[in-house]
Amino acid sequence: MSTSTTQGDTYWASINDDIKAHLNWAIRVRDPVVVFEPMHHLTFAQPKSMAPALCVAACELIGGRRAHALPAASAIHVMQAAVHVHHNLLHKGRPKPMNHGFGPNIQLLTADGLLSFGYELMVKCNDNDNLGEEYSSRVLRATIEVARALGSQGMVAGQFREVECGCDEVALGEARGVEWLRYVHEKKDGGLHACGAACGAILGGGSEEDIEKLRKYGLYVGMIHGILNGAAGRKDEGVIEMVENLGELALKELKGFNATKIGAISTFIHLILAGL
């Protein structure tokens, strides 16, 4: 492992530790406990993506403070957990075994609760801080980003495309072509990572150009993450070519940012490509 990748690991680990600490503070035990328990469990039990961490890294890249991005990053983590829980309830021919004892009713309702809790975390971004009214506008804008990434033209559109095939992810990855993979992962992981990076840039006070470049960076790295993790085992020539191409596009978007800071955020690509 190269030195830069090791530094990258440390950087992402420190961000993820801070997000986890913020979440543990935010999701305190509350009544009714029968609702709180699955909510707490499912928040931390779901597979992780780097979309929340990317929110923090994008904010820091443009000189924003980590504290300004942590609530939004935590919100994205929670909402992503909600999406996973509902995804596991979809009838896809071969349901995945669950390693918790919550039945489908509890999963359905808990994820609804998590989704609204995520929005609460988003819009409470500016509690406890004297950033003034300007920051409220940034928070509103970031919340629109999240709502669109999760909504009918984002995550839900990708999931629709999956369920209309009526089979599970592995079978889908094998049965469908590269363009199908591209569409689904652009809408799902691509959209969520793009949203994470754009939110970080918005909350950190980035320019429109910064926001759009970081959104694209997030889109490309999110698609890579989704393609490599979603279509398990599918690493044929077409997929490898697409992933490598996306990696190059992603790195191009980082040009022009603070050179000493690019190192940290760009290690994300090395981390996910290590799985190839």
Taking the complex as a whole, the smallest distance from the CB of residue 210 to a copy of itself amounts, in Å, to 21
Binding to a copy of itself (CB under 8 A) within 29-68 occurs at: 30-32, 34-36, 39
How many binding residues for a copy of itself (CB under 8 A)? 51
Q: How far apart are the first and last CA of the chain?
A: 15
Residue of 67, 102, 159, 261 that binds a copy of itself (CB under 8 A)? 159
Binding range to a copy of itself, per CB under 8 A, among 106-114, 213-221, 244-252, 255-263: 106-114
d(C-alpha 6, C-alpha 271), whole Å: 10
Place of tokens 């890249």: 61
One symbol per residue from 64 to 93: x for binding a copy of itself (CB under 8 A), - otherwise; what is it? -------------------x--x--xxx--
Taking the complex as a whole, the smallest distance from the CB of residue 74 to a copy of itself amounts, in Å, to 14
Is residue 117 within the footprint of a copy of itself (CB under 8 A)?
A: yes
Segments in the chain forming alpha helices (H): 3-26, 33-45, 51-61, 66-89, 104-123, 133-150, 155-163, 169-175, 178-185, 191-203, 208-230, 237-253, 259-273
Residue of 109, 167, 171, 262 that binds a copy of itself (CB under 8 A)? 109
d(C-alpha 68, C-alpha 130), whole Å: 11
Taking the complex as a whole, the smallest distance from the CB of residue 171 to a copy of itself amounts, in Å, to 16
Binding range to a copy of itself, per CB under 8 A, among 7-15, 53-61, 142-150, 195-203: 142-150
Positive or negative: CA dihedral 23, 29, 34, 35? negative
Taking the complex as a whole, the smallest distance from the CB of residue 2 to a copy of itself amounts, in Å, to 40
CA distances from 224 to 64, 81, 231 (A): 26, 20, 11
d(C-alpha 180, C-alpha 116), whole Å: 31
Q: Which two tokens stand for residue 197?
A: 């990076």
Q: Which two tokens stand for residue 164?
A: 């209309």
Question: At residue 69, what is the residue type?
Answer: A
Binding range to a copy of itself, per CB under 8 A, among 110-118, 174-182, 195-203, 267-275: 110-118
d(C-alpha 33, C-alpha 15), whole Å: 29
Taking the complex as a whole, the smallest distance from the CB of residue 56 to a copy of itself amounts, in Å, to 21
Q: CB of 243 within 8 A of CB of 220?
A: no
Is residue 144 within the footprint of a copy of itself (CB under 8 A)?
A: yes
Interface positions with a copy of itself (CB under 8 A): 30-32, 34-36, 39, 83, 86, 89-91, 104-106, 108-110, 112-113, 115-117, 119-120, 123-124, 126, 133-134, 136-137, 139-140, 143-144, 146-148, 150-153, 155-157, 159-161, 163-164
